[in-house]
Amino acid sequence: MARQKLAVLISGRGSNLQSLIDACAAPDFPAEIALVLSNVEGVQGLERARKAKIQTSVISHRDFADRASFEDAIHERILGARPDLVCLAGFMRILTDGFIKRWNNRLINIHPSLLPAFRGLHTHERVLEAGARFAGCTIHFVRPAMDDGPIIVQAAVPVRADDTPDTLAARVLEQEHKIYPLAVRLIADGRVRVVGERVLIERAAPAEGTLINPAG
């Protein structure tokens, strides 16, 4: 089967982008990155993409009078790469309903908390302040409300008594780098269905040539 094409949107460091680049390097991974788009020039994520010989594009929100015209520009640019799936990976702009609806169920995001808890910024500080026992991260389909939408994959991380926001963020990030490629793989393998705003993960089809025992 042809590999699914991804467009990855970033604003900064791009360590989640790197986890996708590394996953796509495996010959049996069912997706490839067709475009990395950043709204900020000069960020590390762009460097990572160039190193991996992936097409990059920078469209700064500062060059547009309003959100809608910025989004029209990124929409056109993304369309040009003909992606099957758009991955937000540390893309720090709020997107409007119009953009999100154009990519309905083809736009996914990573958020460093166990959604629906701790939406928004400064998640690790707030997890520690709240005394939560677990932190974590979530990959979800994007919906118009912030950090909202059907949950595809999550990973939980125990909070330690001596955690600081930085130590907790580092342990959560390790999990982020595992679940983003996992979610992309599930989607690209056609195993993810959104039913009533919840995600159902279908079982993997048996590998070609596998004998199926109808009695068993």
**Binding to ligand GAR by residue 143, rule CB under 6 A?**
no
Q: Does 39 bind ligand GAR (CB under 6 A)?
A: no
Shortest CB 12 distance to ligand GAR, Å: 5
Q: 20 in helix, strand or coil?
A: helix
Coil, helix or strand for 78?
Answer: helix
Given 61, 75, 111, 140, the catalytic residue = 111
Contact (Cβ atoms closer than 8 angstroms) between residue 179 and residue 155: yes
Instruction: Output the smallest distance, CB 109 to ligand GAR, in A.
Output: 7
Q: Of these, 78, 86, 89, 114, which contacts ligand GAR (CB under 6 A)?
A: 89
- The answer to whether 158 and 114 have CB atoms below 8 angstroms apart is no
- Figure out which of the listed residues 3, 5, 12, 191 binds ligand GAR, where binding follows CB under 6 A: 12
CA distance 159 to 123: 13
Is residue 48 a contact residue for ligand GAR (CB under 6 A)? no
Indicate if 177 belongs to the active site.
no
Candidates 32, 71, 163, 176; binder of ligand GAR (CB under 6 A) is 176
CB-neighbour burial class of residue 161 (10 A; exposed 0-12, middle 13-18, buried 19+): exposed
Minimum distance of ligand GAR from residue 158's CB (angstroms): 18
C-alpha torsion sign, points 71, 73, 74, 77: positive
Binding mask 96-115 for ligand GAR (x = CB under 6 A): --------------xxx---
**Distance from C-alpha of 49 to C-alpha of 28, rounded to nearest angstrom:** 20
Which letter does DSSP use for residue 29 in this model? -
Distance in Å, CB of 89 to ligand GAR, minimum: 5
Cβ proximity to ligand GAR, 125 vs 189, nearer residue: 125
Please list the active-site residues.
111
